[in-house]
Structure 1
Amino acid sequence: MPDFAPIHALYLAVAIALEIAANVLMKFSEGFRRKLPAAAAILCALAAFTALSYAIEGIQLSVAYGVWGGVGLIATAILGITLFGERLRPSGWLGLLLITSGVVLLKFT
Protein backbone atom coordinates (compact mmCIF):
# COMPACT_ATOMS: atom_id res chain seq x y z
CA MET A 1 0.00 0.00 0.00
CA PRO A 2 1.35 3.46 -0.74
CA ASP A 3 2.77 5.45 2.14
CA PHE A 4 0.34 7.44 4.24
CA ALA A 5 0.25 8.89 7.72
CA PRO A 6 -0.96 6.59 10.50
CA ILE A 7 -3.78 9.02 11.30
CA HIS A 8 -5.33 8.28 7.92
CA ALA A 9 -5.21 4.54 8.63
CA LEU A 10 -6.92 5.26 11.94
CA TYR A 11 -9.65 7.25 10.19
CA LEU A 12 -10.13 4.35 7.77
CA ALA A 13 -10.38 1.85 10.64
CA VAL A 14 -12.95 4.05 12.37
CA ALA A 15 -14.92 4.36 9.12
CA ILE A 16 -14.95 0.57 8.74
CA ALA A 17 -16.07 0.01 12.33
CA LEU A 18 -18.85 2.59 11.99
CA GLU A 19 -20.06 1.07 8.71
CA ILE A 20 -20.24 -2.37 10.31
CA ALA A 21 -22.10 -0.94 13.31
CA ALA A 22 -24.56 0.83 10.98
CA ASN A 23 -25.26 -2.40 9.11
CA VAL A 24 -25.85 -4.42 12.28
CA LEU A 25 -28.02 -1.67 13.75
CA MET A 26 -30.13 -1.62 10.58
CA LYS A 27 -30.83 -5.31 11.09
CA PHE A 28 -31.74 -4.68 14.73
CA SER A 29 -34.07 -1.86 13.64
CA GLU A 30 -36.34 -4.43 11.94
CA GLY A 31 -36.91 -2.40 8.82
CA PHE A 32 -36.67 0.91 10.71
CA ARG A 33 -39.70 -0.01 12.83
CA ARG A 34 -37.58 0.20 15.99
CA LYS A 35 -36.64 3.86 16.23
CA LEU A 36 -33.57 3.78 18.51
CA PRO A 37 -31.52 1.28 16.46
CA ALA A 38 -32.71 3.01 13.27
CA ALA A 39 -31.53 6.41 14.46
CA ALA A 40 -28.24 4.93 15.67
CA ALA A 41 -27.74 3.25 12.28
CA ILE A 42 -28.21 6.55 10.47
CA LEU A 43 -25.79 8.33 12.81
CA CYS A 44 -23.19 5.58 12.40
CA ALA A 45 -23.52 5.72 8.60
CA LEU A 46 -23.07 9.49 8.57
CA ALA A 47 -20.09 9.23 10.92
CA ALA A 48 -18.59 6.47 8.75
CA PHE A 49 -18.71 8.69 5.67
CA THR A 50 -17.19 11.53 7.67
CA ALA A 51 -14.32 9.34 8.85
CA LEU A 52 -13.84 8.04 5.31
CA SER A 53 -13.63 11.60 4.01
CA TYR A 54 -10.78 12.27 6.45
CA ALA A 55 -9.07 9.00 5.48
CA ILE A 56 -9.01 9.87 1.77
CA GLU A 57 -7.12 13.06 2.52
CA GLY A 58 -4.05 10.86 2.90
CA ILE A 59 -4.97 7.54 1.25
CA GLN A 60 -5.77 7.07 -2.42
CA LEU A 61 -9.53 7.05 -2.95
CA SER A 62 -9.52 3.71 -4.77
CA VAL A 63 -7.55 2.05 -2.00
CA ALA A 64 -9.47 3.60 0.90
CA TYR A 65 -12.89 2.94 -0.63
CA GLY A 66 -11.96 -0.57 -1.70
CA VAL A 67 -10.68 -1.50 1.74
CA TRP A 68 -13.62 0.23 3.46
CA GLY A 69 -16.19 -1.54 1.34
CA GLY A 70 -14.47 -4.91 1.23
CA VAL A 71 -13.60 -5.24 4.89
CA GLY A 72 -16.98 -3.83 5.88
CA LEU A 73 -18.81 -6.32 3.70
CA ILE A 74 -16.79 -9.30 4.92
CA ALA A 75 -17.18 -8.33 8.57
CA THR A 76 -20.89 -7.68 8.12
CA ALA A 77 -21.34 -11.10 6.51
CA ILE A 78 -19.50 -12.76 9.39
CA LEU A 79 -21.63 -10.89 11.93
CA GLY A 80 -24.77 -11.87 10.02
CA ILE A 81 -23.75 -15.49 10.36
CA THR A 82 -22.78 -15.29 14.04
CA LEU A 83 -25.41 -12.89 15.39
CA PHE A 84 -28.42 -13.67 13.23
CA GLY A 85 -27.83 -17.27 12.14
CA GLU A 86 -27.73 -16.32 8.47
CA ARG A 87 -26.29 -18.84 6.02
CA LEU A 88 -24.24 -18.39 2.88
CA ARG A 89 -24.43 -20.62 -0.16
CA PRO A 90 -21.16 -21.80 -1.69
CA SER A 91 -21.40 -18.97 -4.23
CA GLY A 92 -21.59 -16.50 -1.34
CA TRP A 93 -18.40 -17.91 0.17
CA LEU A 94 -16.76 -17.65 -3.23
CA GLY A 95 -17.84 -14.02 -3.43
CA LEU A 96 -16.31 -13.29 -0.02
CA LEU A 97 -13.10 -14.98 -1.15
CA LEU A 98 -13.00 -12.84 -4.29
CA ILE A 99 -13.63 -9.67 -2.30
CA THR A 100 -10.86 -10.61 0.12
CA SER A 101 -8.55 -11.23 -2.85
CA GLY A 102 -9.43 -7.82 -4.27
CA VAL A 103 -8.69 -6.05 -1.00
CA VAL A 104 -5.34 -7.87 -0.73
CA LEU A 105 -4.51 -6.94 -4.32
CA LEU A 106 -5.13 -3.28 -3.49
CA LYS A 107 -2.05 -3.52 -1.30
CA PHE A 108 -0.01 -3.63 -4.49
CA THR A 109 -1.54 -0.58 -6.19
Structure 2
Amino acid sequence: MSRDVAIARIHCPPRSAMQSGKAKTQSWTLEFAPSEARRLDPLTGWYGSGDTRAQLRISFSTREAAEAYARANGLEFEVEEPPKAMDIKPKVYAENFRYGRSENWTH
Protein backbone atom coordinates (compact mmCIF):
# COMPACT_ATOMS: atom_id res chain seq x y z
CA MET A 1 0.00 0.00 0.00
CA SER A 2 1.61 3.26 -1.09
CA ARG A 3 1.07 6.39 0.94
CA ASP A 4 0.88 9.63 -0.99
CA VAL A 5 2.75 12.57 0.49
CA ALA A 6 0.75 15.74 0.87
CA ILE A 7 2.43 19.07 0.22
CA ALA A 8 1.62 21.76 2.74
CA ARG A 9 2.21 25.51 2.83
CA ILE A 10 3.08 27.22 6.11
CA HIS A 11 2.55 30.98 6.17
CA CYS A 12 1.37 33.95 8.20
CA PRO A 13 -2.07 34.97 6.95
CA PRO A 14 -2.28 38.64 5.93
CA ARG A 15 -4.49 41.00 7.85
CA SER A 16 -7.77 42.00 6.28
CA ALA A 17 -8.27 45.29 4.49
CA MET A 18 -10.50 46.44 7.33
CA GLN A 19 -7.80 45.84 9.94
CA SER A 20 -5.32 48.55 10.87
CA GLY A 21 -3.77 46.95 13.95
CA LYS A 22 -1.54 43.94 14.39
CA ALA A 23 -4.01 41.72 16.24
CA LYS A 24 -4.31 38.16 14.95
CA THR A 25 -1.34 38.59 12.60
CA GLN A 26 1.21 36.69 14.68
CA SER A 27 -0.23 33.20 14.08
CA TRP A 28 0.97 30.71 11.46
CA THR A 29 -1.30 28.65 9.22
CA LEU A 30 -0.75 25.27 7.56
CA GLU A 31 -2.73 24.70 4.35
CA PHE A 32 -2.59 21.79 1.94
CA ALA A 33 -1.97 22.15 -1.77
CA PRO A 34 -4.75 20.71 -3.95
CA SER A 35 -4.04 17.12 -4.95
CA GLU A 36 -6.47 17.07 -7.85
CA ALA A 37 -8.00 19.59 -10.19
CA ARG A 38 -11.44 21.00 -9.53
CA ARG A 39 -14.08 20.01 -12.04
CA LEU A 40 -17.53 21.23 -12.99
CA ASP A 41 -20.47 19.21 -11.72
CA PRO A 42 -22.80 18.80 -14.71
CA LEU A 43 -25.93 18.62 -12.56
CA THR A 44 -25.48 21.68 -10.33
CA GLY A 45 -22.90 23.69 -12.28
CA TRP A 46 -20.73 24.08 -9.18
CA TYR A 47 -17.00 23.42 -9.09
CA GLY A 48 -15.73 20.75 -6.75
CA SER A 49 -13.31 17.89 -6.26
CA GLY A 50 -12.81 14.84 -4.11
CA ASP A 51 -9.89 16.50 -2.32
CA THR A 52 -11.00 17.10 1.26
CA ARG A 53 -7.57 18.29 2.44
CA ALA A 54 -8.02 21.55 0.52
CA GLN A 55 -10.72 22.51 3.03
CA LEU A 56 -8.41 22.05 6.00
CA ARG A 57 -6.59 25.01 7.56
CA ILE A 58 -4.70 24.53 10.83
CA SER A 59 -3.50 27.49 12.95
CA PHE A 60 -0.38 27.47 15.14
CA SER A 61 1.03 30.06 17.50
CA THR A 62 4.60 29.70 16.18
CA ARG A 63 6.35 28.71 12.98
CA GLU A 64 8.28 25.99 14.81
CA ALA A 65 5.05 24.39 16.02
CA ALA A 66 3.69 24.28 12.46
CA GLU A 67 6.92 22.75 11.15
CA ALA A 68 6.97 20.18 13.97
CA TYR A 69 3.38 19.17 13.14
CA ALA A 70 4.25 18.72 9.47
CA ARG A 71 7.34 16.64 10.27
CA ALA A 72 5.45 14.49 12.79
CA ASN A 73 2.79 13.69 10.19
CA GLY A 74 5.23 13.06 7.32
CA LEU A 75 4.18 16.09 5.28
CA GLU A 76 6.37 17.84 2.76
CA PHE A 77 6.10 21.55 3.41
CA GLU A 78 7.33 24.91 2.25
CA VAL A 79 7.48 27.98 4.45
CA GLU A 80 6.56 31.44 3.19
CA GLU A 81 8.18 34.19 5.19
CA PRO A 82 5.88 37.05 6.23
CA PRO A 83 6.41 40.30 4.34
CA LYS A 84 8.56 42.91 5.98
CA ALA A 85 6.56 45.54 7.83
CA MET A 86 6.75 48.94 6.20
CA ASP A 87 7.71 51.85 8.39
CA ILE A 88 4.93 54.36 7.86
CA LYS A 89 5.41 57.77 9.39
CA PRO A 90 2.12 59.01 10.81
CA LYS A 91 0.99 62.22 9.17
CA VAL A 92 -0.60 65.13 10.95
CA TYR A 93 -3.17 67.26 9.14
CA ALA A 94 -1.77 70.39 10.75
CA GLU A 95 1.50 69.91 8.80
CA ASN A 96 -0.37 71.13 5.70
CA PHE A 97 -0.68 74.58 7.26
CA ARG A 98 2.69 74.82 9.03
CA TYR A 99 4.48 78.17 8.74
CA GLY A 100 7.78 77.98 6.88
CA ARG A 101 6.86 74.84 4.97
CA SER A 102 9.38 74.23 2.18
CA GLU A 103 7.03 72.73 -0.43
CA ASN A 104 3.83 74.25 -1.77
CA TRP A 105 0.50 73.09 -0.47
CA THR A 106 -1.73 71.96 -3.34
CA HIS A 107 -5.26 70.69 -3.32
TM-score surpassing 0.5? no
Question: Normalising to structure 2: TM-score of the pair?
Answer: 0.27
Q: Name the larger-Rg structure.
A: 2
Question: Normalising to structure 1: TM-score of the pair?
Answer: 0.27
**Larger proportion of helix:** 1
| Higher RCO, 1 vs 2 (CA within 8 Å, ≥6 residues apart) | 1
